[in-house]
C-alpha cells in the first residue's frame, strides 16, 4: 500500500528541526481524524481486499472499478451482509484517497453494482437482542459474588445497562469520570460514537433499589484497589488485577457468557444488548422518549421510537377486542 504520509516540497531530512517536529506531529494529528475503532476496521477490510486481489492477480492500488465489482460479487457469494460490504468499500475509498488516487467506489459501475446488491440481499439490520432488566437480573444470579472477577463482571454489566452505554464507552471509562454522591454517580462520557470530538456527555446513574449499580461499581473499585485510570481491567490468574484496559470485545464476551449461564440462547446477544436492554425496559415502563434519550444520548428520536414501538406492539392493539 502506498504511504499515506503528506507530501512536502523538500525531503524531510532537509527541514529544520522545528519543522520536522511539526511534520511528524501532523501525521499523528491526521491519524486522529478517524476513530481508532474505524481505523482497526478499515485495516482488517483492506487486508481482506488486498489478499483477494493478490490471489486473483489484480492490483489493489489503484484498483479498477471492474476489479471492485468482482470483489463485491465474491463477498456476496461468501454470504457477507450489505453493511459488511459497504464497510469494505469505505476502506478501499479511504486507501485510494489517502494515496492520492481517484477511488473506484465513485465509479457508476460500482454504484450500480451496490444498488443491485442492496435490492437482492436487503438492508434490514440484524437487531441485537435486548438484555432487559429481567434478563440482566438472571445473568447477575450466575456471577460469583466472592471473587474479584465476579465483582468486576457485576459492575460492568450493571453500569453498562444503567448508563445505556455502548461497549466502547464502558471500557473507555476512567475513575476520574465518576463523581459519586448521595443520590448516585454523575458519569462523564468523554468520547462516544456520537461525540467523536470529545465534547463530553454527562448522565446520572441512580443508586437504585433493585439492581443497585452504584454499589456494584464502588464495591469493585474498592476490592480491586483501583484509584485512578481505567475502571474495567483484566483479572489474571490468582485474582491479580492488571494495569491494562479491557477491550470492547470483552464486553460482548461477558454478555454472551452470562446469557448462556442463565439459560438463554446466546444468538443475538452482544455488547450492544445492555444498551438496547435499558432502552427497551424504559420503554416498557412507559418512560417518555425524551427522558430515555437523555440517558441513551441518541441524536435521532426515530431510533428510540423503534424500541418504544416494539415494546408496545401488543398495547392497545387494534384487534384486541375481537381476536
Give the model confidence (pLDDT) of 218-245 as tens digits: 999 999 999 999 999 999 888 899 999 9
Counting Cα atoms < 13 Å in the Cβ hemisphere of 280 gives: 20
Q: What are the φ and ψ backbone dihedral angles of 266, each rounded to 5 degrees?
A: -75, -15
In the chain, the domains with their CATH numbers are 34-121 (1.10.150.130), 133-312 (1.10.443.10)
- Where in the chain does DSSP place strands (E)? 178-181, 184-189, 201-206
Give me the mean pLDDT over the 132-151 stretch. 94
Banded pLDDT at 7 (limits 50, 70, 90): very low
Of the listed 118, 193, 299, 309, which one is catalytic?
A: 193
The confidence score (pLDDT) of residue 123 equals 62
**Which tops the pLDDT comparison, 19 or 27?**
19
* 25 noted as active-site residue: no
27 has pLDDT over 80:
no
Of the listed 80, 129, 151, 166, which one is catalytic?
A: 166
Banded pLDDT at 6 (limits 50, 70, 90): very low
**Which tops the pLDDT comparison, 214 or 8?**
214
**Which tops the pLDDT comparison, 80 or 200?**
80
Q: What are the φ and ψ backbone dihedral angles of 188, each rounded to 5 degrees?
A: -100, 120
127 has pLDDT over 50:
yes
Contact 244, 233 (CB under 8 A): yes
Q: Best-predicted range by mean pLDDT among 21-30, 49-58, 191-200?
A: 49-58
| All cell numbers assigned to 87 | 464497510
Banded pLDDT at 145 (limits 50, 70, 90): confident
* 166 noted as active-site residue: yes
Task: Please give the C-alpha separations between residue 110 and each of 122, 263, 295, in angstroms, as whole numbers.
Answer: 17, 45, 40
Answer whether 0.75 is exceeded by the pTM: no
132 has pLDDT over 80:
yes
SS3 annotation, 38-96: HHHHHHHHHHHHHHHHHHHCCCCCCCCHHHHHHHHHHHHHCCCCHHHHHHHHHHHHHHH
| All cell numbers assigned to 244 | 491494562
Asked whether the bond before 62 is cis by omega within 30 degrees of 0, the reply is yes
Contact 295, 164 (CB under 8 A): yes
Of the listed 88, 154, 256, 272, which one is catalytic?
A: 272
The confidence score (pLDDT) of residue 4 equals 37
8 has pLDDT over 60:
no
* 317 noted as active-site residue: no
304 has pLDDT over 70:
yes
Contact 269, 129 (CB under 8 A): yes
Banded pLDDT at 35 (limits 50, 70, 90): low
Average pLDDT, the chain: 85
Q: What is the DSSP letter of 175?
A: G
* 272 noted as active-site residue: yes
Give me the mean pLDDT over the 297-303 stretch. 82
Query: 137-175 b/e with 16+ CB inside 10 Å = b?
Result: ebbbeebeeeebbbbbbbbbbbbbbbbbbbbbbbbbbee
* 149 noted as active-site residue: no
Q: Which of 71, 74, 67, 65 is nearest to 104 (CA)?
A: 65
180 by Cβ neighbours in 10 Å (0-12 / 13-18 / 19+) ranks as middle
The confidence score (pLDDT) of residue 322 equals 66
Count CB atoms within 10 A of the CB of residue 41: 16
Give me the mean pLDDT over the 43-66 stretch. 94
* 76 noted as active-site residue: no
In angstroms and rounded to an integer, the radius of gyration of the C-alpha atoms of the chain is: 24
Give the model confidence (pLDDT) of 245-289 as tens digits: 999 899 999 999 999 999 998 888 988 899 999 999 998 888 888
Banded pLDDT at 20 (limits 50, 70, 90): confident
217 has pLDDT over 90:
yes
Amino acid at each position: 500500500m502506498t504511504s499515506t504520509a503528506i507530501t512536502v516540497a523538500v525531503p524531510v531530512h532537509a527541514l529544520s528541526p522545528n519543522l520536522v517536529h511539526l511534520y511528524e506531529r501532523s501525521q499523528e494529528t491526521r491519524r486522529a481524524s478517524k476513530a481508532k475503532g474505524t481505523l482497526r476496521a478499515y485495516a482488517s477490510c483492506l487486508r481482506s481486499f488486498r489478499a483477494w486481489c493478490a490471489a486473483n492477480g489484480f492490483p489493489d492500488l489503484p484498483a479498477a472499478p471492474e476489479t471492485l465489482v468482482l470483489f463485491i460479487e465474491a463477498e456476496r457469494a461468501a454470504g457477507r451482509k450489505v453493511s459488511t460490504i459497504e464497510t469494505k468499500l469505505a476502506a478501499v475509498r479511504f486507501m485510494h484517497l489517502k494515496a492520492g488516487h481517484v477511488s473506484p467506489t465513485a465509479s457508476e459501475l460500482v454504484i450500480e453494482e451496490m444498488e443491485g446488491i442492496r435490492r437482492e440481499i436487503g438492508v434490514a439490520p440484524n437487531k441485537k437482542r435486548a438484555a432487559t432488566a429481567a434478563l440482566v437480573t438472571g445473568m447477575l444470579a450466575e456471577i460469583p459474588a466472592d471473587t474479584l472477577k465476579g465483582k468486576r463482571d457485576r459492575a460492568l454489566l450493571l453500569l453498562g445497562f444503567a448508563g445505556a452505554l455502548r461497549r466502547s464507552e464502558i471500557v473507555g471509562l476512567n475513575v476520574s469520570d465518576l463523581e459519586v454522591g448521595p443520590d448516585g454517580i454523575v458519569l462523564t462520557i468523554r468520547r462516544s460514537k456520537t461525540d467523536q470530538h470529545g465534547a463530553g456527555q454527562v448522565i446520572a446513574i441512580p443508586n437504585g433499589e433493585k439492581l443497585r449499580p452504584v454499589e456494584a461499581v464502588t464495591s469493585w473499585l474498592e476490592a480491586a484497589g483501583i484509584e485512578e485510570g481505567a475502571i474495567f481491567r483484566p483479572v489474571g490468574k490468582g485474582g491479580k488485577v492488571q494495569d491494562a484496559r479491557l477491550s470492547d470485545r470483552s464486553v460482548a464476551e461477558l454478555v454472551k457468557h452470562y446469557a448462556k449461564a442463565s439459560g438463554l440462547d446466546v444468538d443475538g446477544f452482544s455488547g450492544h444488548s445492555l444498551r438496547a436492554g435499558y432502552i427497551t425496559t424504559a420503554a416498557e415502563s412507559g418512560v417518555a422518549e425524551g427522558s430515555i434519550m437523555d440517558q441513551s444520548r441518541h441524536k435521532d428520536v426515530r431510533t428510540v421510537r423503534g424500541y418504544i414501538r416494539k415494546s408496545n406492539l401488543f398495547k392497545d392493539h387494534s384487534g384486541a377486542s375481537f381476536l
